[in-house]
Amino acid sequence: MTDAVVGLMRTLGYLGLFLVLIIENLFPPIPSEVILPLAGFLVGRGEMNFWLAVLVATAGATIGALILYALGRWGGRPIILRYGGILRVDAASLDRAEQWFIRYGDWVVLVARVIPLARSIVSIPAGTMRMPLPRFLLLTIVGTGLWNILLIGAGQLLGENWEAVSRWASTYSDVAVGLLGLGVVAAGVYYLFRRRIKGRQAEGAD
């Protein structure tokens, strides 16, 4: 699949980059960690313009995110879970993502855009939780734009060694997901601790 994506990118140029970034958001197995550094490599060879590549990649990723947002908002959980095998989303992961929104608010969309395993999925609970569309768009464009600048820039910098970026991103992904998990656990422990303290204070007041 990766070889096919790379071939499409090199054949169609900006149009290939645009289409692949739409698909990458809908089907997470196609990794942006491969697509974007390759675009950076092509920038370094003079076959693409850096800022135009960033703009096209951000537009494609945003459209892909909007499709998932629309499925979540107007299709609801039944549609998402019916096609969960294709979207790589199950009931447990959707519940967990919705809890992120309840606990941390809309800013989850911005943070998730720079976490490879979460960047695609986060659009779905943003829809099911009925996050306002203008705010979703703003946070998606900002977060996705930063991610695209980082990986396209890294690919341009590394040149012929652009594939090393995907290995770095894989390690980064593992660390980021681990830290996110620890953060969720810590927030849960803190929440339970606060509830216990408040319960004891209420008992003392009585």
pLDDT digits (tens, 9 = 90+) for 19-53: 888 888 777 656 677 778 888 888 888 888 999 99
Closest CA to 77 of 62, 92, 65, 60: 92
- Mean pLDDT for 67-86 is 79
Buried b (16+ CB within 10 A) or exposed e, 16-45: bbbbbbbebbbebebbbbbbbbbbbbbbbe
The tokens for 80 are 């998402």
Alpha helices in 49-163 (DSSP H): 50-70, 76-82, 84-87, 91-104, 107-112, 123-128, 133-158
- pLDDT grade for 172, boundaries at 50, 70 and 90: very low
**Positive or negative torsion for Cα 5, 60, 157, 167:** negative
More confident residue, 197 or 121: 121
Percent of the chain clearing pLDDT 70 (strictly above): 67
Cβ neighbors of 83 (< 8 A, separation 6 or more) are none
Rounded Cα–Cα distance for residues 45 and 160 (Å): 10
Buried b (16+ CB within 10 A) or exposed e, 163-181: eebbeebeeebeebeeebe
In this predicted structure, what is the pLDDT of residue 66?
92
Q: What angle do CA 52, 131, 79 make, to 5 degrees?
A: 95
